[in-house]
A and B are shown apart, each in its own frame.
Chain A
Amino acid sequence: MSTAALVPSAATVRKRNWLTHWSLAGKLGLAVIAFWGAVALVAPFLPVALGEMSDAGVFEGVSVQHWLGTDYLGRDMLVRIVAGTPYTIGVALVATLIACTLGAVLGLLAAVAGGWLDQAISRFLDTLISIPSKMLSLVIIAGFGSSVPLLIAVAAIVYTPGCFRIIRSLAVNINAMDYVVVARARGERRPYIMRREILPNIAGPLLADMGLRFVYALRLLASLSFLGLGVQPPMADWGSLVRENLGALPVGGAAVLAPALAIATLTIAVTLVIDNLPGHTDADRETH
C-alpha cells in the first residue's frame, strides 16, 4: 500500500489555501507585482518603437494622446515607461537571484564547514562589504563601461555579502540543532545537510531577504541610471527616465513623476509581499 495515495499530502493542502492567510495589503502588493511582471513580459512584443519622436511638444501634460504626458524630447511617456520595465525588473531580478543564490550557498557552506573555510569565506566577504557599495559600482562601471550584463554583475557583487551574512547567521543556529547532529552522525555529506536539513528551515527568512535585496537592487540601478551610468540611451530604465526628465520637476510634469511613481509602487509592493511570506505573518508567529 502506498502511503502517498491515501489522502492529499500536506504539501497540496498547503498549496491550495496559501493565499487565504494573506492580509489585504499583501494581496494588493501581489497584484501590483503581477501587473508590473505582466508589463515586463509583454513590453518587448508591443508594436511601438522606443525612441520614436512625435510632433508633440516637450514636457506636455497628461492628455488623451499621451496618457502620461511627453518627455524632454517630446516622446510618449507611457511608451517609455512600458519599454523601460523589462530593463528595470529584469536587471534587478537577475542580479538579486545571483546575489542570493551565491550568498545562500556560501553562507550554508561556511556554517556547515566551519573552521578555516568559514574564516576564509567570511573574511573575504567582510572585506567586500566594507567597501561602500555605490563607490564600488562607480569604479567598476568607470573601468569597464556600462552594459546590461555588467550592471547585473555589479549589483550581484554588491549584494552577495549582505545575503551571505544573514544566511550564515541563520544557518549557524540551525547547524547546532540535534537533527543536524543526527544527520552528521548518520554520515551525511555536506551538500545534503546544507540542502535538506538546513535550507528548508531558513527558507522563510531567505525569501524575505531576497525581496529586500530586490528592492535595494532596484534602487541601486535607479540611482546609477540617475547618474547616467546605468542603462544607456536610447534605451532607458525607470531610473534614467527620472534623470532625463528632471527638467519637468519645476512644472510638476508627469514625465518625472510617472517613473518615480513606478519605482515607488514596485518597491512598496515587494515589501508588502515580504511581510506575508511564510514565517512572517502573525499567524505563523502564534503557532511557533
Chain B
Amino acid sequence: MGATVLVNELRVVAHVAGGGETPIVKDVSFRIEPGEVLALIGESGSGKTTIGLALMGYARRGCSIVGGSVRIGDTDVLGLSEAGRRQLRGRRVAYIAQSAAASFNPSRTIMDQVVETAHIHSLMPRAEAEKKAVQLFRELALPHPETIGQRYPHQVSGGQLQRLMAAMALMSDPDLVILDEPTTALDVTTQIEVLHAFRRVVRERRTTAVYVTHDLAVVAQMADRILVLRDGAQREIGATPQIISQPQDDYTRSLIAAANPKARGGEAVAEGATPLLEVRQLVAGYGPLDKHGKPAAPVLDDVSLKLHRGQAIGVIGESGSGKTTLARVVAGLIGPAGGQVLFDGKPLPRLVEQRSHEELRRIQIVFQMADTALNPSHTIADILARPLQLYRGLKGDALDKRIAQLLDLVQLPQACARRLPAGLSGGQKQRVNLARALAADPDLILCDEVTSALDTVVGAAILDLLAQLRKELGVAYMFISHDLNTVRAVCDDIVVLYAGQKVEAMSRSAFSHAPRHPYFHLLATSVPELRPEWLDQVGAARRATLPLIAAPADRAGLCSFLDRCPLRVADQCDTRTPPRRELEGGVEVFCHRSAADLLALQRVPEPRPEVAA
C-alpha cells in the first residue's frame, strides 16, 4: 500500500561552467494519491528524470535542488539529512532504471542482488527475503520463479532482467516506486510482457508509482494521471483519458500527433523497369564458412528484395533479425556468403575495396546514432566537404557554396558549418548525418534506424524531411527500423525479417487487409496504441497456448518463428521448409498456412476475460 506523495514548487538547477545556474525544473507541483500511478511525460531535456530523482532527494552531479518541497506520507524528503535520505532510498522509495543490463552486477547471482535491499536496511532475515523474492518473481510472471534467482544476469533475457529489477525494487514494499523508462530499450513484443507484469504488480499491491517515459502510448496503458513536461516546466496535468482525448495544451497535442505518424507520400513506381537495387537469395553472417557455404554465425538466410528508383522500402524486425547486417552487405562493409546484390541491373562487387568510386557514390549509408556517426573533432563544414571533395573534386568557392546548399536542404542554419558536432542537438546532428549522405548525390540511401534515438517530435520532423527529399531529389531509401509506425509512415513497401529470414513482404496499402505471417501479426499488434484498453486486449490474445510440436533435430531451412508461432502445425512446420508464396496484391508470405488461416488469426483480437495464472 503506497503513501500520498506531495510535490510543491520543486526547483532544480544545473550549475554551468563559470558559476552561473540554469533552471532545469521550474516550479513543478503535483499530488499523487496512494495507489495511484502518475506518468511524467516529455522529450529528452524536459526534466522528467530529474523530477523522478528529486523524489528520492537526489540530484545528479552538477545539479542541485534549490526550492520547493517533496513529501512522501508525512516525511519531508528534502528536509532530511544525507543519512536520513539513504534510509529512505531503496526502502520507502524504489527506483527502476531504464537499462537493467547496466544496473545489475554481472559477477553476482540475481538472488544476491534482489535481496540486497532487505539486507542493507536489515528488513528481514535472508531466508525470508528469498521467499519473498520468489513470490515476487511469480507475480511478475517470470519463468522458473524458484530457480531463476540462482542465475547470473547474462543468463536471462533483457525483458526478464527488467522484471527482476522490478522485483528488486518491490522487496521492501516501498511507499513509492519510480519507473524511469523501464521498457524503452526493449523490443515491442517483449515490452508487452514487461508492461503486463508491471501493471499487474502495481495494481495488486496498490503501489504508488511515478512512471517516467517519452512514449505516450505506453503511458496510456500504465498511468492513472499524466503530467506533461517541457523544458522543465509543467504544461498540463490531468487524468489519462482526458489528456489523450481532449488535450488542452498545444504541446500535448503535438505529442499526440507525433505518436500517430501520418503517411508521407512517394512517387509512383514505373513497373517493369530495372530495379535500382535487387538482392537475390542473400546469405550473410559472421565467422568462417562451413562446408555448405554457410557462415559460422548466420545472420541472413535467403533474403531477396527489389527496390525501384525513387521508392522507399522498409525493412522491419526486432533486434537480432539481421536488418543492420542487410544494410551493411548492400554498403559493402560485410561480404555476403551467398547470393547476389545487383545495383541498376549490374552485380555489385562484394566489398567496398572492390567497388568503383561511382558505385560507392551512388549508395550512401546513414547510421542510427548521429553522436557516433559524426567525427567529434571535425567541424560540420569538414564533414560535409569530404564527400564533395572525394566524389566531385570540388574546392574553394564551389565547395563552400555546395556546403551552404546542403545545410539549406536539411534546414540547418548556415552558422552550423563552423561548429563541432558537440555543439548541435540530437536532431540537428541527424540532419548533418543526412546531409553528408546527400552530398554524394546518391541514388540510394540506406537509413539504419535514423529516428530511433530521437524524440518523437524531432523524429517526425526528420521523417518529413526524408519524404520531402525523396520528392525533390528522387532518391530511393532502404529504411531499416524496428518501429512499424515509422516504416508505415515513410515506406511504399514493407519487408519483415525474423531471425534472418524474410517472413513477409507487402506494400503499405496492403497492410490493413492482407494476410500476415504470424510473426508480423505479433509485431503489428505489439505496437502500443493510445487506447487505454489496448494492453488488456493484446494481453488476452497472447496467453493462448501454442500447439505441441516435436523439437526438430535439424533446424536448417525451417521457419525461424517456429518456437513462438501460435499457428504452427506438427509434422509440417517442424520438418519442412515453408513455401514462399505469392498471394494476391503482391503480398509474399513464408508460411505453411493458407491465406485464410492467417486472416483468421488476425480476426481474434476480441477481448477475453483475463485468466489468472
Nearest 8 CB-CB pairs, A to B?
A200-B377, A187-B360, A178-B373, A178-B372, A179-B375, A178-B367, A185-B331, A3-B417
For residue B418, CB closer than 8 A to chain A, the reply is yes
12 A–B contacts from the bound complex (CB under 8 Å): A1-B404, A3-B381, A10-B420, A177-B372, A181-B333, A182-B367, A186-B364, A186-B387, A186-B390, A187-B360, A187-B390, A197-B375
- Per-residue A-contact encoding for B343-358, CB less than 8 Å = 1, 0 else: 0000000001001010
B360 adjacent to A185 (CB under 8 Å): yes
Q: Which residue on chain A has the smallest CB distance to residue B359?
A: A187
A181 adjacent to B400 (CB under 8 Å): no
Known A1-B404, A177-B372, A182-B365: A201·B377 in contact at CB below 8 Å:
yes
Which residues does B use to contact A, with CB under 8 Å? 17, 62, 331-333, 352, 355, 357, 360, 364-365, 367, 369, 372-379, 381, 386-387, 390, 397, 400, 403-404, 414, 417-420, 422, 436, 440
For residue A7, CB closer than 8 A to chain B, the reply is yes
Which listed residue, A4, A179, A186, touches B374 by the CB 8 Å rule?
A179
What residues of chain A lie closer than 8 Å to B436, measured between beta carbons?
182
Q: Which residue on chain A has the smallest CB distance to residue B373?
A: A178
Which listed residue, A2, A7, A9, A200, touches B397 by the CB 8 Å rule?
A2
B357 adjacent to A187 (CB under 8 Å): yes
A186 adjacent to B360 (CB under 8 Å): yes
Q: Which residue on chain A has the smallest CB distance to residue B416?
A: A3
CA distance A183 to B360 in the complex (A): 11
A184 adjacent to B352 (CB under 8 Å): yes
> A206 CB to closest chain B CB, in angstroms?
13
> A37 CB to closest chain B CB, in angstroms?
28
For residue A188, CB closer than 8 A to chain B, the reply is yes
Which listed residue, B369, B375, B381, B390, touches A200 by the CB 8 Å rule?
B375
A2 adjacent to B400 (CB under 8 Å): yes
CA distance A177 to B374 in the complex (A): 9
Q: Which residue on chain A has the smallest CB distance to residue B375?
A: A179
What residues of chain B lie closer than 8 Å to A3, measured between beta carbons?
381, 400, 403-404, 414, 417-418
> A10 CB to closest chain B CB, in angstroms?
6
Q: Which of A154-191 contact B (CB under 8 A)?
A: 177-179, 181-188
What residues of chain A lie closer than 8 Å to B367, measured between beta carbons?
178, 181-182
Q: Do most interface residues of chain A lie in helix, strand or loop, or is the interface mixed?
A: helix
Q: Which residue on chain B has the smallest CB distance to residue A188?
A: B390
B333 adjacent to A185 (CB under 8 Å): yes
Q: Which residue on chain A has the smallest CB distance to residue B421?
A: A179
Q: Which residue on chain A has the smallest CB distance to residue B422?
A: A287
For residue A283, CB closer than 8 A to chain B, the reply is yes
CA distance A8 to B378 in the complex (A): 16
Which listed residue, A4, A10, A203, touches B419 by the CB 8 Å rule?
A10
Q: Of residues A181, A186, A188, A200, which shows the largest number of chain B Cβ atoms within 10 Å of its Cβ?
A: A186
CA distance A200 to B378 in the complex (A): 9
What residues of chain B lie closer than 8 Å to A203, measured between beta carbons?
377
Q: Which residue on chain B has the smallest CB distance to residue A10?
A: B418
What residues of chain B lie closer than 8 Å to A287, measured between beta carbons?
422
What residues of chain A lie closer than 8 Å to B403, measured between beta carbons?
3
> A214 CB to closest chain B CB, in angstroms?
24
A184 adjacent to B333 (CB under 8 Å): yes
CA distance A7 to B379 in the complex (A): 14
Q: Which residue on chain A has the smallest CB distance to residue B401?
A: A1
Q: Of residues B375, B377, B379, B403, which shows the largest number of chain A Cβ atoms within 10 Å of its Cβ?
A: B375
What residues of chain B lie closer than 8 Å to A178, measured between beta carbons?
367, 369, 372-373
- Per-residue B-contact encoding for A190-203, CB less than 8 Å = 1, 0 else: 00000011001101
What residues of chain A lie closer than 8 Å to B418, measured between beta carbons?
3-4, 6-7, 9-10
Which listed residue, A6, A183, A187, A283, touches B355 by the CB 8 Å rule?
A187
CA distance A283 to B18 in the complex (A): 11
- Per-residue B-contact encoding for A1-19, CB less than 8 Å = 1, 0 else: 1111011011000000000
What residues of chain B lie closer than 8 Å to A188, measured between beta carbons?
390
A10 adjacent to B379 (CB under 8 Å): yes
B332 adjacent to A185 (CB under 8 Å): yes
> A179 CB to closest chain B CB, in angstroms?
4
CA distance A167 to B355 in the complex (A): 30
What residues of chain A lie closer than 8 Å to B332, measured between beta carbons?
185
> A84 CB to closest chain B CB, in angstroms?
40
> A118 CB to closest chain B CB, in angstroms?
17
Q: Which residue on chain A has the smallest CB distance to residue B407?
A: A3
CA distance A185 to B17 in the complex (A): 39
CA distance A187 to B414 in the complex (A): 28
Which listed residue, B369, B376, B419, touches A201 by the CB 8 Å rule?
B376
Q: Which residue on chain A has the smallest CB distance to residue B366?
A: A182
What residues of chain A lie closer than 8 Å to B352, measured between beta carbons?
184-185, 187
Known A187-B352, A200-B378, A283-B17: A179·B373 in contact at CB below 8 Å:
yes
CA distance A22 to B60 in the complex (A): 27
Which listed residue, A182, A201, A283, touches B373 by the CB 8 Å rule?
A182
What residues of chain A lie closer than 8 Å to B333, measured between beta carbons?
181, 184-185
CA distance A170 to B500 in the complex (A): 33
CA distance A181 to B367 in the complex (A): 10
What residues of chain B lie closer than 8 Å to A6, measured between beta carbons?
418
What residues of chain B lie closer than 8 Å to A177, measured between beta carbons?
372
What residues of chain A lie closer than 8 Å to B369, measured between beta carbons?
178
> B401 CB to closest chain A CB, in angstroms?
8
Q: Which residue on chain B has the smallest CB distance to residue A179?
A: B375
> B415 CB to closest chain A CB, in angstroms?
8
B400 adjacent to A1 (CB under 8 Å): yes
Q: Which residue on chain A has the smallest CB distance to residue B419?
A: A10
CA distance A184 to B374 in the complex (A): 13
CA distance A50 to B414 in the complex (A): 63
